[in-house]
Amino acid sequence: MKEKILITGGAGYLGSIMVPTMLEKGYEVTVFDNLMFQQNTLLECCTHPNFHFINADVRNTQRLKEAMKGKDVIIPLAALVGAPLSNKDENSTIAINRDAVIAINKMRSKEQRILFPTTNSGYGIGQEDIFCTEETPLNPISLYGTTKTEAEQDLLQSENVITFRLATVFGCSPRMRLDLLVNDFTYRAFSQKYIVLFEAHFKRNYIHVRDVTKAFLFGLEHFDQMKNQTYNVGLSTANLSKMELCLEIKKQIPDFFITESEINKDPDQRNYIVSNDKIEAFGYRPDHDIQSGITELIKGFSILTPNKYSNI
């Protein structure tokens, strides 16, 4: 019998890869999304008999409760993602990123499983040369990081939960985003041929959007062994500074000019390196590295109309 999955926000950047992949794997998938970006990224799924779509907002608790009935797994992807968008609408950010997830946790049955994507931006500002593990105290420095962290903490007080602390995601998706760091820097190299870096030494970890889907499928397949814990999900080969990332891009776009500004500060002050040893100990390995992701993005940028593809 096919397992039934409810994915809130399933028409977004992550979900537009995750949903078709899960349908291919034999799951029955219901997406609950208000299409706030007027995206039509799941049209290709409509021919699939195991695909269902509910056009609704996760703040509509009654619709959400009805949608949860009979589902085996709930994946709450719906969120206002990133510091700029979260800061633009603080009330909605709290209601969607935190309160709706807490409501799902409260309304679900004990048997219903949750796999939740939070963010390793919750680590905030790390210590130099010390890897953040799942035991590292959380210190979010943005409203986005705070709301995701608070939702995660509520879930981890319950049973039948896995949370994934995602690294900064990159790569092409039908609901593309250009405001993510690798995507953004590669687009600047592709279109403008130059970049001015603020605090170029700041580091973070990265993960390809398709490897996020792989992590969720891995969690579903190994749920009993992994449940009731959190896992960092990123590329162990890609704890890179902004300068190091730009130099990787320059290898593929040689006329990319990189310069630094000592005057301005980056509005996103995250700076940390992350260990992914815990999930790797279970056998999970990403398929895509930074270099192949940059190659993919360069191809994609020949197709995109850029002003459609950011969260703000």
pTM of the model as a whole = 0.95
Q: From its phi and psi, is residue 273 left (phi > 0), alpha (psi between -120 and 50) or beta? A: beta
Q: What single-letter DSSP state applies at residue 19?
A: H
Q: Give the pLDDT confidence score for residue 310 in this predicted structure.
A: 62
- The ranges of the chain with pLDDT < 70 are 1, 265-268, 306-312
**Architecture of the 4-170+206-233 domain:** 3-Layer(aba) Sandwich (3.40)
Strands (E), the chain: 4-8, 28-33, 51-55, 73-76, 113-119, 131-132, 161-166, 168-170, 194-198, 203-208, 229-233, 239-241, 257-261, 273-274
CB 221 within 8 A of CB 253: no
Q: Give the pLDDT confidence score for residue 122 in this predicted structure.
A: 84
Return d(Cα 208, Cα 187) in angstroms, integer.
Answer: 16
Return d(Cα 173, Cα 15) in angstroms, integer.
Answer: 9
Q: Which residues contact 85 (CB under 8 A, 6 or more apart)?
A: 93, 144, 311, 312
Check whether domain 181-203+237-274+282-308 has CATH 3.90.25.10, yes or no: yes
Domains of the chain by residue range: 4-170+206-233, 181-203+237-274+282-308
Structure tokens at 310: 């950011």
